[in-house]
Amino acid sequence: MTLTEKAAPPMKQPPSLPAMHTVKLTVNGTETELQLAPWTSLLDALREYMHLTGTKKGCDHGQCGACTVLVNGKRINACLTLAIMQDGNEITTIEGLSQKDADGKDGLHPIQQAFMDHDAFQCGYCTPGQICSAVGMMNEGHVKTADDIRELMSGNICRCGAYTNIVDAIQSVMNPQPDAA
């Protein structure tokens, strides 16, 4: 290779970034419009652009479940979907689970209350994902036994090891049949 071949021609213009996109999301009942780059994950949109930091970033690779949110009532990993792919969808995060009580005051979701009653966490980092996942599991309607809870909650890792109490908490709300002996 000669010196003249080595020199790359100067760029006529700098590379341009792909266009930003308008993304409409209904998050916890409130319609929101964001200007986002296409590579913004739903998780980053919630945390960095809407400041809803209840949803946690754990592994960012779909392996831990800390980022679990509900999209149109179904639980998914917010780290493995792009916000732009969810355009028009209804998102529920841990911040949106509380329910009005008879007096019109904000009350905890029964799963949230059960996690407190059963001491279903230590450090709490996985807890929003655990709770959203449990609510999603209730919506899905496939739990018959406590074993089903363990299997269908396996996408939520708790490094403190609070699993026993997590299952107890969910069980207290869902009342499944006892495990076969």
Partner 1 sequence: MNSFAYTRADGVTHAVAERADESTAAFIAGGTNLIDLMKENVARPTRLIDINRLPLTTITDTENGGLRLGALVTNADTAYDDKVAKNYPLLAEAILAGASAQLRNMATDGGNLMQRTRCYYFYDLATPCNKREPGSGCSAINGYNRIHAILGTGSPTGDVQCIATHPSDMCVALAALEATVQVTGPDGDRTIPFAEFHRLPGDTPQIDNTLEAGELITAIDLPANGFSKNYAYLKLRDRASYAFALVSVAAALEMEGETIVDARIALGGVAHKPWRRPEVEAMLHGKSASNDVFQTVADAMLDGAQGYGHNTFKLELAKRAIVRALAQAAKLN
Closest contact distance (angstroms) between CB of 3 and partner 1 is 29
Q: How far is Cα 158 from Cα 180, in angstroms, rounded to an integer? A: 25
Closest contact distance (angstroms) between CB of 66 and partner 1 is 11
Restricted to residues 9-48, the positions that interact with partner 1 (CB under 8 A) are 17-19, 21, 37-39, 41
Stretch of 94-102, 112-120, 150-158, 162-170 contacting partner 1, by CB under 8 A: 150-158
Applying CB under 8 A, among 12, 61, 100, 105 the residue interacting with partner 1 is 61
Stretch of 6-14, 76-84, 103-111, 115-123 contacting partner 1, by CB under 8 A: 76-84
Q: How far is Cα 158 from Cα 126, in angstroms, rounded to an integer? A: 6
Position 128 contacts partner 1 (CB under 8 A): no
Q: 115 is written with which tokens? A: 């996690």
Stretch of 24-32, 49-57, 62-70, 100-108 contacting partner 1, by CB under 8 A: 62-70
Looking at the Cβ atoms of 117 and 150, the one nearer to partner 1 is 150
Position 76 contacts partner 1 (CB under 8 A): yes
Position 85 contacts partner 1 (CB under 8 A): yes
